[in-house]
Structure 1
Amino acid sequence: MKQHVLTTLCLIACSSMQSLYAQQIQIAGKITDSNGKPISGVTINVKGASQGTSTNENGLFTLNTNANATLTISAVGYSRQEIQVNGRKTISISLSSDEQALDEVIVIAYGTAKKSTYTGSAAQVKSDAIDKQPVTSFEKALTGRVAGLQMSNGSGQAGATSAIRIRGIGSMNASNEPLYVIDGVPVISGSVGQMGDYIVNTNNVMSTLNPSDIESISVLKDAAASSLYGSRAANGVIIITTKKGKNGDPKINVKSSIGISPSWATKNNEPASVQDQINMLYSVLYDSRIAAGQTAEQANKNTLFRLNSLDWNPNSANYGKPTSSYGFGIHGYQFSTDGTSQWENVHISGKTDGVENRDGKYYDWNKALFRTGIFNSNDISVSGATEKTNYYASLGYTQDKSRIIENNFDRINGRINLTQKIGKYLEFGSNVNYAKNKLIGMNDTRNTGTNYLYQASNLLWQMYWPTDYKTGNEYTARYGSLAYNPLYYNKEWENSSKTSKLSAIESLSLKLLPELTLKTIFSYDRTEVKDHIYYSAKHYNGMADNGRVTEVSTSIEKLVSSTTANYNKSFGLHNIGLLAGFEAEKNTTDFIRATGKDLPSSSLHTVATAGILDASAYSWGNNMMSVLSRAEYNYDERYFASASFRRDGSSRLAPGPRWGNFWSLAASWNLAKEPFIKQIEEINNLRIRGSYGVNGTLPTDLFAWRNLTSYSNKYMTQPGGGLNNLGNPDVAWEKNYSTNVALEFGLFHNKLFGTIEYFNRDSKDLLQNVPISTITGFGSILRNVGEMNNKGIEIELGSDIIKNENWKWTLSANAAIIRSKITKLYGGRDIVWYDPTGGDDRARFIYREGESSLSFFGLEWAGTDQTNGKNVWYTNDGTDGDFIFNGKAASYDYKKAKQTIIGNANPKLYGGINSDIDYKNFSLGLNFAYKIGGKLYDATSKDVADDGYYWERIHAAYFTENSWSPSNTDGTYPMVTGRDLEDVNQISSRQLFDASYLRLKNISLSYRLPNEFLKRAGISNARVFFNGSNLLTVSKYKYMDPEVNQFGTRGWETPLAKTYTFGVEFSF
């Protein structure tokens, strides 16, 4: 009986399962827009179930579901639809565009907003624009894409730090960098590590973030957009949102690319020919002998002595005898002239007394020190989402070998983003990222031994060889004029920096009411940098110490905890949003430096093996607590108003001024919804908005408000200390008062769209070192006394020029006109300061009331006197000078010239142009960046366009071709001389050049493989692509790369390279 019942139940169950299976069908569908063009990324969900999927690039999808199911179809920019399956196995769906849905959803402070309803000034760059460029750090992909954002790529070195300025600069003493926020939490950013104190290099902590993990980047520009971040947002905010899963089956995405950099993006101080160089050197040396009172015959004889490596001092006991201290005779060359004048053509021939005759042969140092750079990137990710779980996990490896030998960057990174719903009301989120970088061989300074661009372009004559011509052995001695054999010495030094970064963002969201959500975030961010530099006893930097090694460890931790309550409610046509929250932040830094000297051998070069030790260690930190709130209101999405308030308290300030209040008010009016605009068919979007608010900036010094005693001094073996810092308890927040007014428009069915925006930023209470009586033991004290102003206009224009089934062409451009000037200084006194980059005080600036914030200060070079080839300087001292030149008082003596403002580094106009063309499965993207106006200061011209100060240096071709001589009296540069040696060494307008340029930053071409071909391999999507970076540059400045640092200066930094990248991406 039991067996009969069991059998009956099994038959009933099987029958039920068979019936259920019979109701399940596989649907194949295609989704297009109103023009019949396939739409990718459309989300298809089964209503009331957890099933779902999305369309591929051809608009196709497949889904297993019930024959009577209802499908919900949704996509950004299109009206939502519900479709009854009704047993159909094939479905074609056409989505109509929704003018309201076309609004871009942007990530803002503590939330998201539709761009059309947002009252602040913000721009967004999506992942597809970032993916198009082969970069190790995402900042470089922003160039030319956001109006008002100025990106400075001052170095093409692997792993170099970029600088971002949003709407000018707002401080003279504190930071001008924006605040970086990742997934809602402020993070450690900038150049981290302390090795810069020793060799002035950069180590960009943001390069630990894999650009392939980024979903979008929002740039917040005005107070309404950024004031919720309070004291850190005066210079704008960059919000990075990392990727999440999308509804549907798990998706595995693989991307791999490899690129080469065979050449620089520009010419870089191309040397003159060996013949021109030796003729110029002969003229300089000859002139110095004439200045010493020698006759023409004596000057000619002694100059040739020096070139031939013979003692040229008539008063020396070794006069005329071989010397190894100078000249090219010791390198296998000999020199002669036909006559005895200063402008003789010098004959060069090879010597025959060694193992090698170098007659007519020269060494190519560029080939030896530079290589074809290689860029390699590999990423794999797994992502997906169900009704309750959203996940994204990735692993990546990137390698960048720059064109300079011994300069490599490696990164390995992993990320897990997870969101899990727990019941109906609770949601848990976890974003964890770990990355390790290794950077070796970095040096962008004017260090004479380890900057290979400087060596190859200015120090290493082609008559210097890495081997001795007499013996064929490796040449280890100094060549002369600070030149050394880098092929030998690069084996005798090490320079590396290792960065590890762990960040974890944990969150809980609780839906207390349908309109009210409570969210708590806890973030842990730790960055550790270990720097290593070693010079052997054979290296000239280590000879005096019998070998030297330095190890530096810097650990930075940032803990952030925030809790916010978000309330959103609609009452008919009224919509309100309220936000309130609390945030606490703790930052700590630990620093350890150990140096060892007198190393036992080159194989044992650790601090532990050194005979002489020196060490120091420090620990410091700061804390912040904040309360914040925001209120938003709109009526019928036609009239909008918002207000925000944040109160910050920081340990960087004394108890009195510790707390600062930061706020904003904003409003906008959507005129397109008004009846009198609706009737105008050509206008589809018309909105005006405005805002006013206050942000702040903290002092960079953690202890500026208190007296500090340093115990780093010693007397004999006894510890000792002294007052290190004279504190000012009244030091307070710098304040930025920001006004913003904008007009947004969309015309002709939104085929033409854009924004015109005016802003004004008054920065007050700026920190300035104010002079005090020296009887205090100090020369100045920090006070809030300065003021400056930034104002300008930003314009963004775009057009969907073509948009049909096969073609889509979108063209956009942006421009920013910004004027930045100093409005108040303590007592109206000027402040003279130097470019802090490069470590060589390469350029001088001045803060002066009424003048630009980046005013170059120096001597005004008038040019060359065509009658005699001498330098001419405008005196600018109110006198008539020694003579009148071009209508102004002038002199041949630079000592009689007065320093003045000689130029402005701020451009008159800058921006970008972007073009995206899609044709069937092909896509072509172009990204241009440009700058018009302003000056750049080229410190290298002191070296390569020298008219006498540096005798045995290589001259650039542009100088030898344009310097004055009896046969070239139209030369724009002065004649070379051996007597007025300091002229070129002055900071002057002679080193200033027009900074305007247009550059094709990136070109991308991709092809998506046909779906029919991919199905056979089980692949849902695949493309092959090509990227080209820095392939075209148009500039008035022809001598080096016109992309300079944030101060408008250039030294011997590594120039940018042309990069050609090929890759493949596929998913399944």
Structure 2
Amino acid sequence: MKRLFVITATMLLLMVASTTFAQKTISGKVTDSKDGQGISGASVQIVGTSNGTVSAQDGSFTLSNVAAGQSLSASGVGYETKIVDIGDSSFLQIVLTATTQEMNEVVVIGYGTQRKREVTGAISKVSGDKLNTIVAPSFEAALQGKAPGVQVMQGNGLAGSGSVIRIRGVGSVTAGGDPLYVVDGIPIGSDQFLRQDNRSGMNQNPLASINPADIESIEVLKDAGATGIYGSRGANGVILITTKRGKSGKPAFNYSTRLGASTYTRKPSFVSTAEWLQLRQEGWVNDGNTGYADIPGGFTYESAAKNNTDWWDLLTQTGFINEHNLSMSQGTKKFKTFANLSYSNNEGYIKSNAYERLSARLNIDYNILSNLKLSLTSGWNRGVNKRVPAAWDGGIGDAMSGALPFFSVYNEDGSYFTNGANPMRRMLETKRREIDNRFIGGLSLEYQPIKNLFIRANGSVEYTTAIDDVYESNIWINQANPDSGYAKRFPYWGTNKNGNVTVNYLKNIGSDHKFNFLAGVEAQEYIRENYLFEIGSLPVRLT
């Protein structure tokens, strides 16, 4: 019996050793059949098992615990799934082919459209329905994770604040890194510093007033080909925004609403008063001092220990988000119309902070003749941003830095505490509101005199106004003078005119060769005015 046990155990050990010996680690690379470039984010998995990984930025991958004779499955978004036998290989080169549906998709390339399979540059397309899958403060924030090579970084999280977008990294050391935004062929102003500096610790997002529900699709031009279309303006990439237009059929109405909540992703860790006093005393002693350490604000250890203020809790909230969209689409062979009316209110995670947007759109397409088409594009957006101080300007910035836990909001007599940072005093005694109005209108005419020859003329205007109002009470400015108080207004006007004429000729040679000849001219003019108004004075600044 003992001998039988030894033989059985030996055989089991040999089997385990044999299995372990047969397992190995393999590596490889997933590439695109079109250009040979690596595909990042591709799923690589052993067939029939949970053993898998995701390819790196250059398409490379590594898998361990792989047995000879197993098969490998590789797939990616927009690519057909491919299964390969591993065999005795330790390195696999996996080539994926884009799906037929993806390759036949029509994309906007600037002055026209092409099928994706005919595009030689790097273009990513995001449809409007994908943008609206999540509640986002603005459309560019909804791009996050939906377009390869496009990095979207949310700013400070305040309602109405902008996102930082970088296409394939930073392309300049001293110049700006923002891409060019083009709405229905109209290059628009999107510079957050164009109208103002970062007063109150944030910049108003000039793109926040654009309604994501109006967007049909977004194309991102990522390579040097963008400069061939838009010149130096496209040096950091181009984001082309196409709004919805009317479709054939009887009038169809659509209503949608979304409700949500906003809060901070993670609460920072703050020390309590007892912990702060302990750390203060330890630092005091470690510096070679004796006795009790000095405490800011004229506090003693006994008086400081009585307070333990949670500044973060006092300044933050769970915001409510609601959005409503009502649209109408109708069309005949000659006349198509799309109209939309939208309202949204996005409360931020900081008390008193909210961004309210009202927008309207009317797009019309009219076939005057069989070879002559007139198109009208128009949109109006109004954004009201209830701003609060942040970062270096106080408010939530003070709550994360200078406001110590033993400071209080009010003194015993009911007056504000002023012997140190008091974020609540700053927030309650200052008011700020910024109102933006943006009108975008464009008229285009397309004429086809002969087959495959298209002549297009476009004229457009973007008119923007902004009023940034700031009020600071006498309690904040000067407590000794009850009649004081301070009000400022920063108005802005901007007019952006654009016009272009293009001649486009298409030539097909057989079924495999296509030529697209394009010639055109474009002119753009941008005029802006800034002022500063103060109570009791004339404008003191003009730029």
> 1:475/1:581 Cα in 2 relative to 1: closer, same or farther (>3 Å)?
same
Partners of 1:197 and 1:240 in 2: how far apart?
27
Partner of 1:217: 218
Partner of 1:264: 264
1:618 maps to 2:542: yes
Partners of 1:504 and 1:99 in 2: how far apart?
36
Q: Residue 440 of structure 2 is aligned with which of 503, 518, 533?
A: 503
> 1:385 Cα deviation (Å)?
2.0
Indicate the SS of the match to 2:155: coil
> 1:575/1:334 Cα in 2 relative to 1: closer, same or farther (>3 Å)?
closer
> 1:193/1:548 Cα in 2 relative to 1: closer, same or farther (>3 Å)?
farther
1:554 maps to 2:492: yes
1:389 maps to 2:335: yes
Matches for 1:422-571 after TM superposition, within 5 Å: 422-448=368-394, 451-452=395-396, 454-469=397-412, 473-480=413-420, 483-484=421-422, 486-540=423-477, 546-571=484-509
Partners of 2:303 and 2:479 in 1: how far apart?
33
Partner of 1:228: 229
Q: Residue 399 of structure 1 is aligned with which of 341, 345, 350?
A: 345
> 1:109 Cα deviation (Å)?
1.3
Matches for 1:704-783 after TM superposition, within 5 Å: none
> 1:116/1:402 Cα in 2 relative to 1: closer, same or farther (>3 Å)?
same
Q: Residue 515 of structure 2 is aligned with which of 570, 576, 581?
A: 576
> 1:198 Cα deviation (Å)?
4.2
Partner of 2:280: 281
Partners of 1:163 and 1:489 in 2: how far apart?
28
Aligned length: 444
Partners of 2:102 and 2:506 in 1: how far apart?
19
> 1:120 Cα deviation (Å)?
1.3
Partners of 1:410 and 1:526 in 2: how far apart?
20
Partner of 1:377: 323
Partners of 2:479 and 2:455 in 1: how far apart?
60
Partner of 2:140: 139
Indicate the SS of the match to 1:468: coil
Partners of 1:193 and 1:474 in 2: how far apart?
43
Q: Percent identity?
A: 28
**Aligned-partner residue type, residue 615 of structure 1:** P
Partners of 1:159 and 1:190 in 2: how far apart?
14
**Aligned-partner residue type, residue 215 of structure 2:** I
> 1:126 Cα deviation (Å)?
0.8
> 1:587 Cα deviation (Å)?
0.7
Partner of 1:409: 355
> 1:583 Cα deviation (Å)?
0.7
Partners of 1:362 and 1:161 in 2: how far apart?
34
Partners of 2:102 and 2:320 in 1: how far apart?
43
Partner of 1:118: 119
> 1:426 Cα deviation (Å)?
1.4
> 1:404 Cα deviation (Å)?
0.4
**Aligned-partner residue type, residue 531 of structure 2:** I
> 1:546 Cα deviation (Å)?
4.0
**Aligned-partner residue type, residue 402 of structure 1:** G
Indicate the SS of the match to 1:458: coil
> 1:169/1:551 Cα in 2 relative to 1: closer, same or farther (>3 Å)?
same
> 1:221 Cα deviation (Å)?
1.2
| Conserved? CA contact 2:477–2:485, under 8 Å | no
1:166 maps to 2:167: yes
Partners of 1:334 and 1:203 in 2: how far apart?
42
> 1:477/1:463 Cα in 2 relative to 1: closer, same or farther (>3 Å)?
closer
> 1:617 Cα deviation (Å)?
4.0
> 1:537 Cα deviation (Å)?
2.4
> 1:364/1:101 Cα in 2 relative to 1: closer, same or farther (>3 Å)?
closer
> 1:418 Cα deviation (Å)?
0.7
> 1:99 Cα deviation (Å)?
4.0
> 1:523 Cα deviation (Å)?
0.4
Deviations 1:145-183 (A, max 9, x none): 222211121221101111111122222222211111111
> 1:409/1:569 Cα in 2 relative to 1: closer, same or farther (>3 Å)?
same
**Aligned-partner residue type, residue 409 of structure 2:** P
| Conserved? CA contact 1:250–1:385, under 8 Å | yes
Greater CA radius of gyration, 1 or 2? 1
**Aligned-partner residue type, residue 205 of structure 1:** P
Deviations 1:204-252 (A, max 9, x none): 1111110011011001112234411112111111101001122222211
Partners of 1:213 and 1:570 in 2: how far apart?
35
> 1:328/1:158 Cα in 2 relative to 1: closer, same or farther (>3 Å)?
farther
Partner of 1:343: none
Partners of 2:524 and 2:462 in 1: how far apart?
11
Partners of 2:101 and 2:317 in 1: how far apart?
53
Partners of 2:480 and 2:323 in 1: how far apart?
40
> 1:536 Cα deviation (Å)?
2.1
Partner of 1:593: 532
Deviations 1:351-387 (A, max 9, x none): xxxxxxxxxx744333321111111111110012221
Partners of 2:369 and 2:201 in 1: how far apart?
54
> 1:467/1:390 Cα in 2 relative to 1: closer, same or farther (>3 Å)?
same
> 1:421/1:194 Cα in 2 relative to 1: closer, same or farther (>3 Å)?
closer
> 1:191 Cα deviation (Å)?
1.3
Matches for 1:960-975 after TM superposition, within 5 Å: none
Partners of 1:234 and 1:414 in 2: how far apart?
32
Deviations 1:700-734 (A, max 9, x none): xxxxxxxxxxxxxxxxxxxxxxxxxxxxxxxxxxx
Matches for 1:931-946 after TM superposition, within 5 Å: none
| Conserved? CA contact 1:253–1:380, under 8 Å | yes
Q: Residue 326 of structure 1 is aligned with which of 291, 294, 298?
A: 298
**Aligned-partner residue type, residue 494 of structure 1:** K
Higher relative contact order (CA 8 A, sep 6+): 1
Partners of 1:165 and 1:114 in 2: how far apart?
26
> 1:199/1:265 Cα in 2 relative to 1: closer, same or farther (>3 Å)?
closer
Partners of 1:541 and 1:104 in 2: how far apart?
64
Indicate the SS of the match to 1:138: coil
Partners of 2:148 and 2:540 in 1: how far apart?
45
Partners of 2:111 and 2:365 in 1: how far apart?
17
Deviations 1:727-750 (A, max 9, x none): xxxxxxxxxxxxxxxxxxxxxxxx
**TM-score by structure 1 length?**
0.40
> 1:417/1:186 Cα in 2 relative to 1: closer, same or farther (>3 Å)?
same
**Aligned-partner residue type, residue 252 of structure 1:** F
Matches for 1:947-986 after TM superposition, within 5 Å: none
Indicate the SS of the match to 1:555: strand
| Conserved? CA contact 2:201–2:393, under 8 Å | no
Partners of 1:501 and 1:581 in 2: how far apart?
28
Query: What is the root-mean-square deviation in Å for CA atoms of aligned residues?
Result: 2.5
Indicate the SS of the match to 1:368: helix
Partners of 1:204 and 1:542 in 2: how far apart?
34
Deviations 1:837-873 (A, max 9, x none): xxxxxxxxxxxxxxxxxxxxxxxxxxxxxxxxxxxxx
> 1:328 Cα deviation (Å)?
5.2
> 1:426/1:192 Cα in 2 relative to 1: closer, same or farther (>3 Å)?
farther
Partners of 1:388 and 1:546 in 2: how far apart?
64
| Conserved? CA contact 1:220–1:226, under 8 Å | no
Partners of 2:298 and 2:284 in 1: how far apart?
12
Partner of 1:153: 154
> 1:445/1:465 Cα in 2 relative to 1: closer, same or farther (>3 Å)?
closer
Partners of 2:492 and 2:448 in 1: how far apart?
41
**Aligned-partner residue type, residue 273 of structure 1:** S
